[in-house]
Amino acid sequence: ADDEKNILELCRLYLVKEGFTVETAIDGQEVLDKVRRSRPDLVVLDIMMPRIDGLEVCRRLRKDTSIPIIMLTARGDDVDKVVGLELGADDYVTKPFNPRELVARVKAVLRRATSRVEVDATVDVGDVSIDPGRREVTISGKPVQMRAKEFDLLLALAQENGRVLSREQLLSRVWGYEYFGDSRTVDVHVTWVRDKLEGSCAQVQTVRGVGYKLVAMDTPNQPGQRGT
């Protein structure tokens, strides 16, 4: 989805060449209409579009669906990237971009989305329980609302049973790519996961110079407490 027809055609050509079936849209309302009608496997979404902008489209899609979303933006401001991720985008590409990189990101995001195992056993860390099949998290039996990538990040750490994962490993496991990731994406999501775990007996700890690990604590986390 992009209001620049030359970009639409360029992306369509490269994606079709790789075997994808592609539909295009030139404004946000058309995106929402086509998603409801055709239920695509993934949406590539420009931020600056007429009628409804890409960020609002992303927000609306995330209310009803878990379709993977890659944001396209001409803005280099990190704020736009963080807002897009916070709204539920799975990745972002900044214009101008190499269409081959876009294809690689599409494949990586789809690979991650289709490789999730829905029947894994529930993982418990302290009083936090993570159900991969239902994609639910509870603290002492009470449900906790998490965005898709927050859940995936927490699950990846929990499945390591206290072992450390580097930012690069987390990018690969959670976002599904190794070469195009930005480690700041991991740091931002770790902060959000820590916020969700406040008051629990599980804590995401930073291992300086290495990465992160999830550990069970004897006492609950206090508001503002950060693992180091």
Is pLDDT at 40 greater than 60 in this prediction? yes
Mean pLDDT value across residues 46-67: 89
Indicate if the pLDDT at residue 149 is higher than 60.
Answer: yes
**pLDDT score of 175:** 78
Per residue in 20-38, pLDDT tens?
999 999 999 999 999 988 8
* Average predicted confidence (pLDDT) for the chain: 86
CA distance 209 to 121: 31
Average of per-residue pLDDT across 194-211: 94
Per-residue model confidence (pLDDT) at position 178:
45
pLDDT at residue 201, as a whole number: 94
Q: What is the pLDDT of residues 125-146, one digit of tens each?
A: 999 999 987 889 999 999 999 9
pLDDT at 95: 86
* Percent of the chain whose pLDDT exceeds 90: 54
The predicted pLDDT at position 174 comes to: 84
Predicted TM-score (pTM) of the model is: 0.56
